[in-house]
Amino acid sequence: MINQAKKSLCVFSILLLILGCYENKKQATLSTNWCDKELRPSLKKLTEIKTKRDWFKVYAAGENVYAIVEPYNYQEVISYLILGKQKALLFDTGMGMDSISQVVKELTSLPITVLNSHTHYDHIGGNYEFTNILGMDTAFTRDNAANGIPHDKVKQEVSPDAFCQKHLPKMDTANYKIKPFVISTFIHDGYKIDIGERTLKVISTAGHTPDAVALLDEKSGYLWCGDTFYEGPIFLFSKGTDLASYENSITKLSLLIPKLKYVFPAHNNPVCDPKELTDAKNAFEEIKSKKKSGKDNNDGNELFTFDKFSFLIGKGFLNQK
């Protein structure tokens, strides 16, 4: 009986570990050893730009476009530096675990404007390092800017199995948090950013969050889509999620495909084929029409798996009429 009890306890502990490791993942589980993990094959196809910050990997992703990747944390978040003739725009500032402003200074001497694809913590971590920040005029944006994100809500990002501390030897994991920041100008759907012989149009893509945006460089055929699409589990379960808005947004982006050369998502692979936006739109329609079944994730969410991506959707949102 004692041996049987020990065996049952062991099995139960293993199950708890497995379920816990899945929480908040983007592509790989938290059980991954991030110091041993190889970089994504897609990154090796791009030209790397060497910098002095070991935490970041920088790649030339398009004409005067740099993908600033954080591959040693399980979020694998990507920020983008877009150069014009007079100014540069930094689309997202990452985790805030190392200084993204120092990387940007190595890449350009142009004045920097920051715009976030949305204000979830993994995209605003370095905002406090900059003075010229654009923000969508929403309560969601204002709240995250004014308050930042406290340690207890982001501590999983610096747990031993969530990132490789070898690349951040001086990281103060006990005090990691997302600092508040000041928004210089509040903007809206259709707002245009002129950075000198390059105009970037802001497109509202609410759904993942109320303040989600995409960025379109129509002349170059470039679209930065934030978390509205990427190759991996797309999260639609947190505060501010709206499935009807998401459906409208992914449809809106798919209609841009004839104008697009590249799509630049905010996680995992920096450069994607624009046709994948149609795949995502069609996949989401299958879910909404109940033609596609999900798998219970045992955390209040259902996982709907497709070829290069999936959707992790809160059951409460799925049951809304």
We report the CATH number of the domain holding residue 151 as: 3.60.15.10
- Is 56 inside a domain boundary? yes
* pLDDT in the model for residue 3: 46
Contact 313, 236 (CB under 8 A): yes
Lookup result for tokens 């694809």: 117
Which token pair is 63? 């004409």
* pLDDT in the model for residue 88: 98
Higher pLDDT, 37 or 20: 37
* pLDDT per position as a tens digit, 95-105: 999 999 999 99
* pLDDT in the model for residue 33: 86
pLDDT band at 320 (very low <50, low <70, confident <90, very high): confident
How many independent structural domains does the chain possess? 1
* pLDDT in the model for residue 103: 98
Q: What is the DSSP string of 2-15?
A: HHHHHHHHHHHHHH
Of 231, 271, 277, the C-alpha closest to 255 is: 277
CA distance 172 to 187: 34
* pLDDT in the model for residue 321: 57
CA distance 177 to 96: 8
As a whole number, mean pLDDT of residues 116-132 equals 98
- Is 87 inside a domain boundary? yes
Contact 149, 121 (CB under 8 A): yes
pLDDT band at 89 (very low <50, low <70, confident <90, very high): very high
Q: Is a pLDDT exceeding 80 seen at residue 14?
A: no
Q: Which long-range contacts (CB under 8 A, 24 or more apart) does 17-20 make?
A: 19/298, 19/299
- Is 15 inside a domain boundary? no
In the beta sheet, which residues pair with residue 185? 134
Residue 22 class from Cβ within 10 Å (0-12 exposed, 13-18 middle, 19+ buried)?
A: middle
Q: Is a pLDDT exceeding 60 seen at residue 10?
A: no
* pLDDT per position as a tens digit, 251-308: 999 999 999 999 999 999 999 999 999 999 999 999 999 999 999 998 999 999 999 9
Q: Is a pLDDT exceeding 80 seen at residue 6?
A: no
Q: Is a pLDDT exceeding 90 seen at residue 247?
A: yes
Looking at this protein, which amino acid is placed at residue 87?
K
As a whole number, mean pLDDT of residues 54-75 equals 97
Q: Is a pLDDT exceeding 50 seen at residue 142?
A: yes
* pLDDT in the model for residue 22: 37
Contact 114, 132 (CB under 8 A): yes
Which token pair is 164? 């490789």
- Is 297 inside a domain boundary? no
- Is 317 inside a domain boundary? no
- Is 281 inside a domain boundary? no
Q: Is a pLDDT exceeding 50 seen at residue 221?
A: yes
As a whole number, mean pLDDT of residues 116-126 equals 98
Q: Is a pLDDT exceeding 50 seen at residue 21?
A: no
Q: Is a pLDDT exceeding 90 seen at residue 32?
A: no
Contact 277, 262 (CB under 8 A): no
CA distance 65 to 60: 6
Which token pair is 321? 């009429």
Domain that holds residue 268: 28-275
- Is 208 inside a domain boundary? yes
- Is 237 inside a domain boundary? yes
3-state secondary structure of 106: helix
